Every structure is written in C-alpha cells, then in structure tokens.
Amino acid sequence: MQEVRCGQCQRKLAMAEFVRLQIKCPRCGTLNDMRALSPQPERPGASTTKVCDDASKKSPGLAGWKKPPG
Ligand SMILES: [Zn+2]
C-alpha cells in the first residue's frame, strides 16, 4: 500500500495499492492521475519454444521393416 496524495495541495487522498488510479481531490478539485511507482517488470521467457520432434515421426530403422513370413 502506498499513500496517495494530491499533486496540487498534497492532501492525503487515500492509501491504496494500484497500477493506475484517477482520483479527484475534494479540497482543490484537481484530478490526480496516478500510476504505480514500481510496476512489476514482465517476466522473461514468455516466448514459445518449438520442439523439433521430427526424428520420432519416422524411424529409419523401422521404415523398411517387413513382416517375416510365417
Ligand atoms: Zn488537492
């Protein structure tokens, strides 16, 4: 939680935890557009990794395998 104060008259408006907040000061009427001071950075490694699994589709050892007569 952080203290939300008016940017104009420094009146304490609220205690809040926010990403973005718009609050109008009841004292001076200033509309305060606040943003969180320390936004959490996006986590790395969001990219999708493609797994090349082509080898398991066809096994060269079994490709020419024929059923023995019997
Ligand atoms: Zn104010």
Residue 46 maps to a domain = no
Task: Return d(Cα 63, Cα 17) in angstroms, integer.
Answer: 62
Is this structure's pTM higher than 0.75?
Answer: no
For the chain, the average pLDDT equals 81
CA of residue 40 to ligand 1 center, whole Å: 28
Number of domains, the chain? 1
CA of residue 30 to ligand 1 center, whole Å: 6
**pLDDT tops 60 at residue 39:** no
pLDDT at residue 7, as a whole number: 95
Residue 63 maps to a domain = no
- 63 to each of 20, 55, 58, how far by Cα in Å? 61, 12, 7
CA of residue 57 to ligand 1 center, whole Å: 68
Residue 28 maps to a domain = yes
Residue 69 maps to a domain = no
**pLDDT tops 90 at residue 28:** yes
Residue 12 maps to a domain = yes
pLDDT at residue 31, as a whole number: 97
CA of residue 29 to ligand 1 center, whole Å: 6
CA of residue 3 to ligand 1 center, whole Å: 14
Which residues form the domain of 28? Answer: 1-37
Residue 23 maps to a domain = yes
